[in-house]
Structure 1
Amino acid sequence: MKSDTMQKPHDRMAEYLAADMAAVNTLIRDRMASEHAPRIPEVTAHLVEAGGKRLRPMLTLAAAHLCGYDGPYHVHLAATVEFIHTATLLHDDVVDESAQRRGRPTANLLWDNKSSVLVGDYLFARSFQLMTETNNMRVLAILSNASATIAEGEVLQLTAAQNLATDEGIYLKVVRGKTAALFSAATEVGGVIAGAPAEQVQALFDYGDALGIAFQIVDDLLDYQGDTGVTGKNVGDDFRERKLTLPVIKAIAKADAEEHAFWTRTIEKGRQQDGDLDHALALLRKHDTLSQTQADAVAWANRAKEALNTLPDHDMREMLRDLADYVVARIN
């Protein structure tokens, strides 16, 4: 990733899609308004305007453009995707008891848990209103199924996150649910609204699925070796929150009896003490699980790029290819 162009393909996409993204942002601001409950736009604006990359709605717009669509409903679908994403973030921060999101205090910290949950519910409802305006039952099925899959993935994570029996297969189910489901829905509906052939719609789904998995694996990896100034998270937050992510799952699979006892005490039982994070990092290095996790992320990014091969030759296809590379380049 030598050039700046290659490093930040999402910036190139944002420039290419600037007019559409402006329409999406206008629609989001319009639909997050509430005549009777002023707290709704307050809470929503805090998160929506916090400077996120708007990656998921951009994927919807990109897929629609790639398949030759010229509007207007790709804007509705992109706004729908962002509302679903924002709703899940509001709920996640309550579940995780998070204090920071995108480098700012979370909504549940500034207001309260009740406001975060209820405003998240409102945004889910708004997303369904938006998607019905396309009058496309297939789009409605894809996005409603994705919403259910996201919730299912979050519940599965609750039961799996602190259970040392959680293996890579269960981890992948969690990631497919809580992260990849919205990526794949975002790309798939772009193709559907454009009336693309079945093989192109499937390719867009496969791209979003693989990209979302790579994205989450990298996020989990950055928790153990990221730059706090870049990620907005403290190194070891997942360890302190007793989340079983891929680097730790790989280390547990190779653990001897003493190491297994350490993971049982710190993750399953939550009895953490000074020096435990350093010891956990030492075990990850001992078993080389950080580089193995990175290799898994690269493999999924490559699968995303391969899925693009059946899609039309288009500037956007190359940006999506570069985006897959950039997702894993964040590790460096």
Structure 2
Amino acid sequence: DRQHGTGMAINIGDYLIGIGYRLLNEARADIGAEAASDLIEKMSAAHIKLCEGQGAEMAWQESETFELAPLDALQIYALKTSPAFEAALYAGIRMTGSVGKYEALISSFSRHIGVGFQILNDLKDWQGDDNNKLISGQDALAMRPTLLLALALQTADDQQKADLKDILQGHSSDGARIDRLREIYQDCDVFTKAEALVDKSRARAEELAENVENEDFKQLLMFFCDTVLAEETPEAKPEPQVLMPTA
């Protein structure tokens, strides 16, 4: 996108999707026509849901009300990310045989994983270098309907809401907008609330995984929880070496 432009990026993306569907069709020789048909159906359904999620985000960006409830943001997240996890999990299981009783579980598990992943992405957007404020808060500057913004709008007072609208409309410099937005988010305890929702998504996904009887599948789902929803830990830094005087 940055090097060749948005149009070229979209065209290449469409081309790669076309290749993906062709590969699924060619897989009939190895996995059977019925399994290949099921995979194409699942992938196409996921493709449509992902587009609906992106469309919902774009529609909000074009709106003039700036109203966004936390549930609205979570629903967009469920459409933007969860279908990709669901399609990937479904494909792996279906290529080994019948999905059967796991189909509903895969859908629920993927929803929790996808929503938690998107909230973590929101939080990581604010973990930039403190010496370069333009690194953090990029989703806010792009006026995306994030959960953090929705949580802030839910508890902000009238002045804070007016400031949020001014920030989203870009009436000041990027640095000033980021500073004020961070201040509002901290005053509204947005980061703590978002972290609690990640914990809830992780707990619900782990609960579903623990109830799976097949040990191999259970371990796979737990691997998803441990990697996709991994808790952020500060990078370990070596202890400074202090030279003590000998005399």
- TM bin, normalised by shorter chain, reads 0.7 to 0.9
**Gap change, CA 1:266 and 1:200, over 3 Å in 2:** same
CA contact (8 A) 1:191 1:204 kept: no
- Following TM superposition, by how much is the alpha carbon of 1:258 offset from its aligned partner in structure 2, in angstroms? 0.4
Conservation of the 8 A alpha-carbon contact between 1:191 and 1:201: no
Q: SS in structure 2 opposite 1:109?
A: coil
**Separation of aligned partners in 2, 1:312 and 1:227:** 41
What are the Cα deviations for residues 27-75 of structure 1, in whole angstroms up to 9, with x where unaligned?
Answer: xxxxxxxxxxxxxxxxxxxxxxxxxxxxxxxxxxxxxxxxxxxxxxxxx
- 1:152 corresponds, among 33, 52, 67, to 52
Quick one: distance in 2 between partners of 1:137 and 1:327? 29
Residues in 2 aligned to 1:159 and 1:208: alpha-carbon distance in whole angstroms: 25
Equivalent position amino acid for 2:72 in 1: I
Aligned counterpart for 1:329 among listed residues 230, 237, 240: 230
Residue 318 of structure 1 pairs with residue 213 of structure 2: no
Contact 2:53–2:80 at 8 Å: present in 1 too?
A: yes
Matched with 1:142 is 42
Shift of 1:217: 0.8
Q: Compute the displacement of 1:141 (Å).
A: 1.0
For structure 2, the residue ranges without an aligned partner over 5 or more in a row are 234-247
Q: How many residues align?
A: 219
Q: What code does the residue aligned with 2:119 have?
A: I
Q: Do 1:146 and 1:182's aligned partners in 2 also have CA atoms closer than 8 Å?
A: yes
Cα 1:123–1:311 change in 2 (3 A) is: farther
For residues 260 and 242 of structure 1, the distance between their equivalents in structure 2, rounded to whole angstroms, comes to 15
C-alpha distance in 2 between matches for 1:206 and 1:252: 28
Distance 1:311 1:297 in 2: 25
Asked if the contact 2:167–2:181 (Cα under 8 Å) also holds between the matched residues in 1, the reply is: no
- Once the two structures are TM-superposed, the CA of residue 264 in structure 1 deviates from its matched residue by 1.2
Tell me the amino acid that sits aligned with residue 109 of structure 2: Y
The aligned counterpart of 2:14 is 121
Is it true that 1:301 corresponds to 2:202 in the alignment?
yes
State TM-score, norm by structure 1: 0.61
Q: Are the aligned partners of 2:90 and 2:99 in contact in 1 as well (CA < 8 Å)?
A: no
Deviation of the 1:145 alpha carbon: 0.5
The answer as to 2:81 corresponding to 1:169 is no
Selected match of 2:81 from 176, 179, 187: 179
Partner residue of 1:112? 5
Once the two structures are superposed, what CA deviation does each residue of 1:126-184 show, in whole Å capped at 9, x if it has no partner? 11111223323222111101001111111110112465212122212211121111011
Q: Tell me, yes or no, if structure 1 residue 238 matches structure 2 residue 139.
A: yes
Q: Distance in 2 between matches of 1:270 and 1:146?
A: 34
Given that 1:246 and 1:293 are in contact with CA atoms closer than 8 Å, whether structure 2 keeps it comes out as: yes
Contact kept in structure 2, 1:211 and 1:300, CA below 8 Å: yes
Displacement of 1:223 in angstroms is: 0.8
Instruction: Tell me which residue corresponds to 1:279.
Output: 180
Please name the residue that 2:114 is paired with. 212
- CA distance in 2 between counterparts of 1:193 and 1:306 reads 25
Structure of higher RCO (CA pairs closer than 8 Å, 6+ residues apart): 1
Taking the aligned partners of 2:148 and 2:117, their CA distance within structure 1 comes to: 15
From 88, 98, 105, the counterpart of 1:203: 105
Identity fraction in percent = 21
Which blocks of at least 5 consecutive residues in structure 1 are unaligned?
Answer: 1-107
In 2, Cα distance between equivalents of 1:110 and 1:117: 13
Residue 285 of structure 1 deviates from its aligned partner by 1.2
- Structure 2: which amino acid aligns with 1:320? L
Flag the structure with larger Rg: 2
Contact persistence 1:220–1:246 (CA under 8 A): yes
What one-letter code is carried by the residue in structure 2 that aligns with 1:296? Answer: L
Whole-angstrom distance in 2 between the partners of 1:177 and 1:130: 25
- 1:331 maps to a residue whose letter is E
Distance in 2, Cα, partners of 1:302 & 1:214: 10
Aligned to 1:290: 191
Q: Distance in 1 between matches of 2:14 and 2:99?
A: 34
